[in-house]
Amino acid sequence: MLLTSLIIVLREVLEAAVLLSLLLLICRRMGYSLTWLPGALALGALFAWGYSLNLEAITDWQEGVGQELLNAGLELLVVIGLFTVAWVSSFRSAGLQPRYMAFTGILAMVIIAALTQELAELLIYLDSALSVINSRGAVLAGATMGMGIGFSLGVLLYVFLSSLQNQTQKLMLFFLLALSSAGKASQAMGFLMQADWLESSLPLWNSADLLSERSVAGEILYAIMGYEATPTAGQVVVYVICLVSVSILYGRFRGLRHGLPRGERHGE
Amino acid sequence: MSITRLGLVLLMGWGFSLVSHAARPTYELELKNHLFHPDEIEIPANTKVRLIIRNRDDSSEEFESYELNREKIVGARHKATLFIGPLSPGVYPFFGEFNPKTAQGRIIVK
């Protein structure tokens, strides 16, 4: 029971922690404070609680696929938010500083959407597991450990990213933004297929023998980049589109570094 | 930016064109005392099917499968609907994430 609780809590917390580390470091790089963060965390927790309280109604919505639609919607909000962060960051090097409220508002939206989804499952599980009196201790111990490990890994990522030299750090942040947005977009598509709002197809490949989703590495890659061993063609296409889009924005970011559009830098 | 926009529009158009309203074969599972009944279901290959899970327990469960790429929470004394497939022939295990040691089953695709 302890191990089950640990794994469930760790999986959800890790996903949120990776995203949080990434966004907090980007916020710091832009020169903004984190005073907006506690409010965002609180709202995320509140919405997650609301989700868990209304599980039946949500589940029954739209002929029984409400959960999938809500999860896909939350994930798409995260994707849109991450794209916007990448886009806004790309203008920064041309000397344009985005407004504090607008930029931190986007970061808050991403965090609230991600937390609503991750924490809801956690709360539903804990509500269910803690109702069994005999194993309450084990469930709580496992949950605490899972939260601790997930949080620690998030801090580790933040410290690692902070330690990188300026140019390498920029590259890594954009790379992680690309992977996060691609992973979430692919997951959203997965939910829409699960809801039969999108047609499905046979998986394009099966990489489970190379890297099982059940392994530690597989779970970590799932948290960072939405790794799936059997993606469909549609999910792969969406994934690549996200990677390419963020890469294009990074290209603009670097091209505008000296205040000139890329083409003119090699000028006549 | 225009390339991204074009890509998004094409993707949406393609996506919407794929939405199917065909009737899906339906299969049912029950969850009682953290066990799936039946614990094995046979479905045809290359077919998307509807799976209805009825949870008879007083606690929620999460139907999950790595092989099927599906996860859905089924509330206490409630039911959940999801779609799986199309799949090639084989055995696809699933489990209840909240009670993984007992709630286990297989989808057999022939």
ipTM of this model? Answer: 0.88
- Residue B21: per-residue pLDDT: 46
A121 contact B CB<8A? yes
B64 contact A CB<8A? no
Scanning every residue of chain A, which has its alpha carbon at the shortest distance from the alpha carbon of B96? A4
pLDDT of A152 > 70? The answer is yes
For chain A, give the mean pLDDT. 91
Minimal Cα–Cα distance from A245 to chain B, Å? 6
Confidence of residue A255 (pLDDT cuts 50, 70, 90): low
C-alpha A151 chain-centroid distance: 15
CA distance A251 to A129: 48
Residue in A67, A228, A237 closest to B72 by CB: A67
Residue in B8, B69, B83 closest to A195 by CB: B83
- Residue B23: per-residue pLDDT: 81
Minimal Cα–Cα distance from B12 to chain A, Å? 10
Which residues of B are less than 8 Å from A231 in CB distance? 69
| Block residue for tokens 């039969």 | A196
Confidence of residue A254 (pLDDT cuts 50, 70, 90): low
Residues A116-133 pLDDT 10s:
999 999 999 999 999 888
Q: What stretches in chain B show pLDDT beneath 50?
A: 21
Confidence of residue A90 (pLDDT cuts 50, 70, 90): confident
What is the arithmetic mean of pLDDT over A178-206? 96
A209 contact B CB<8A? no
Count of CB atoms situated within 10 Å of the CB of A177 = 23
- Say whether pTM exceeds 0.80: yes
Confidence of residue A174 (pLDDT cuts 50, 70, 90): very high
Minimal Cα–Cα distance from A100 to chain B, Å? 24
What is the arithmetic mean of pLDDT over A132-140? 92
Greater model confidence, A94 or B53: B53
